[in-house]
Amino acid sequence: MISHEWRKGLQPTHSDENGPSRHPREGGGPASWIPAFAGMTRKERPPKEHTPGKVYIVGAGPGAHDLITLRGLRALRLADVVFYDALVSPELLAEAPSADLIFVGKRCGRHPVEQHETVRMMIERARRGDIVVRLKGGDPMIYGRGGEEALACNEALIEYEIIPGVCSALGAASFAGIPLTHRGVASSVAFVTAHSAACLGKPDLSWGHLVKAVDTLVIFMGGSWLEPIASALVGFGLPPETAAAVVSHATHENQQTVVGSLRDIAQRVKEAHLATPVLIIVGAVAEFGETLNWFERQRLVASCTAAEDFPTSAL
Ligand SMILES: C[S@@+](CC[C@H](N)C(=O)[O-])C[C@H]1O[C@@H](n2cnc3c(N)ncnc32)[C@H](O)[C@@H]1O
């Protein structure tokens, strides 16, 4: 039980006016307070012997380190241990200089640390009284196993918080200048994955109904399957001229966007040598990537200015 001395450091979530508060694990109605370490600095944090550990499942954002939320950053600065994914930027890890940094990233076909092992280590460290940050690319609740990890904490009776992050689809949309909805052009969007079946050797293309119902599709984990995805979408009824864009390393310094149509996008991406991770955006809004691609244009201008060779035609 947390000592009274440290109560003042715990952020109330409901008023304490109705008498003594209960710990959430004591049951009997909604929690009146929970330890909210992320509101403290490292110095203010109670010593471990006075507090149970806690897991923060944190969205790191799409890539650029300053796209994490303030709450996520606070949790990171307080962490004793950070379990981080492959797409997390090194600048963010530098925000936790005294934490143990444990890489648990996964890429298609390569699992250096199995998911159950990651969860086991997180829970073990929280039981020791540690502040555990599980730092995940984008948002933890979009293709991020955030739900699975929260369920595991629930089962183990470990306190946890889920701190949202900017999903890579939203980062790509903003940084590539492709609004996922746009008045008069697109009013609905769906996030889909090509990944699960792709690892088994064939892309997951059971999206016939989506093609008819949704204006914009954002396809995750489809970088290796561009050609079959594009032809399947045409097979499901989308015209081959439908606009499509592929955004590689969205929001990173090396972001690259290729815009085309379902007919030629795979070839264009091949010619541009785009590297994964990529997001595929399909629908009329993809065309905006030609005109609103402010981020890559800005980088081009900066590099031309640096080289004192500034082609105004690039603007
Ligand atoms: C396992 S999912 C994780 C998604 C993440 N939770 C999110 O909210 O963005 C990984 C996939 O997200 C996409 N992705 C993540 N970061 C990206 C980035 N910076 N640029 C392009 N695609 C990205 C790619 O499709 C990648 O294969």
What was the pLDDT predicted at 300?
83
Query: Within this chain, do residues 272 and 156 fall inside the same structural domain, yes or no?
Result: no
Give the chain's domain count: 2
Assigned domain for 138 exists: yes
Would you say 255 and 275 are in contact if contact means Cβ atoms under 8 Å apart? no
What was the pLDDT predicted at 30?
35
Q: Residue of the nearest CA to atom 27 in ligand 1?
A: 221
**pTM listed for this prediction:** 0.83
What was the pLDDT predicted at 204?
54
Could you say which of 85, 130, 139, 204 is catalytic?
85
The enclosing domain of 82 has a CATH number of: 3.40.1010.10
Query: Within this chain, do residues 118 and 235 fall inside the same structural domain, yes or no?
Result: no
What was the pLDDT predicted at 112?
75
Instruction: Calculate the CA dihedral of residues 64, 60, 101, 159 and round it to 10 degrees.
Output: 170
Q: Which structural domain range is residue 237 located in?
A: 169-295
Query: Within this chain, do residues 187 and 288 fall inside the same structural domain, yes or no?
Result: yes
Instruction: Out of 85, 118, 143, 253, give the residue to mutate to test ligand 1, the one with the largest number of ligand atoms within 8 Å of its CB.
Output: 143
**Cα 171 to ligand 1 centroid, rounded to whole Å:** 10
What was the pLDDT predicted at 208?
80
Ligand 1 touching residue 221 (CB < 6 A): yes
The enclosing domain of 270 has a CATH number of: 3.30.950.10
Mean pLDDT by 10 residues, the chain (315 residues): 34 37 38 49 67 93 97 96 94 96 78 88 96 97 96 96 98 98 97 68 67 94 90 91 98 97 97 96 98 94 71 54
Q: Classify burial at 8, counting beta carbons within 10 Å of its beta carbon; exposed 0-12, middle 13-18, buried 19 or more.
A: exposed
Assigned domain for 104 exists: yes
Assigned domain for 304 exists: no
166 CA: nearest ligand 1 atom: 8
H helix intervals, 128-278: 146-156, 168-175, 195-199, 208-213, 226-235, 265-272
What was the pLDDT predicted at 304?
78
